[in-house]
Amino acid sequence: MRLLLVEDHVPLADELLASLTRQGYAVDWLADGRDAVYQGASEPYDLIILDLGLPGKPGLEVLQEWRQGGLVTPVLILTARGSWAERIEGLKAGADDYLTKPFHPEELQLRIQALLRRARGLANQPQLQAAGLHLDESRQCVSRGEQVVELTAAEFRLLRYFMMHAGQILSKSHLAEHLYDGETERDSNVIEVHVNHLRRKLGREVIETRRGQGYRFTGSAA
């Protein structure tokens, strides 16, 4: 699982980086809101931890820009302020959860795990649409118009992840990490097999190969 941490207080950031890395997460760290706007929207993260008191651009504005741009990645906001009004503004702007500093590391860990579980189930977005495809999480099915497309469980999970990150280049290793979700076997060659199956069922143009980089869900039907 890949996380983005946006926190300008270096001692806290160092502590969180060490803790999250020990828990097995791959973590990128930024300290400026302006950098976060671009990075969060262009890289395929599984979850973002966002401090609201940032230099460059306030965290609330960063979050608003992400959501206005269509980013569906779960966002956990951090704030040193005890104001209930700010927490409400953060949730209104699209935050999925919040923590007020200081907090216990274990509480952060549990909230991250809960958000990732919800994201895998797409609790806040039970349906996705792209490239003429309609993915219904609650019914675990994919359709194109009136036609239901039969997918295996692994193909469904892979397509769902592609649709959540439409237009972004996703490496085989990143896709394998998501698909297997911590299982010991992470064979990136299996991803190629699943992608070929999806292309056969949905059309070759829906997923394009970027040589040496990975795959990209184009949103174009064949």
Residues 6+ apart with CB under 8 A from 34: 56, 57
Residues 80, 85, 91, 92, Cα dihedral to 10°: -140
Per-residue pLDDT tens over the stretch 144-169: 888 888 887 778 888 988 988 888 89
Higher pLDDT, 143 or 136: 143
25-47 pLDDT, tens digit each? 999 999 999 999 999 999 989 99
Look at residue 188 in the predicted model and tell me its pLDDT.
Answer: 64
The chain-wide mean pLDDT, for the chain, equals: 85
pTM of the model: 0.60
Average pLDDT over residues 90-108: 87
Query: Is pLDDT larger for residue 196 or for residue 132?
Result: 196
51 contacts: CB under 8 Å, gap ≥ 6: 6, 7, 8, 9, 59, 77, 78, 79
pLDDT of 183 > 50? The answer is no
Q: Is 70 exceeded by the pLDDT of residue 180? A: no
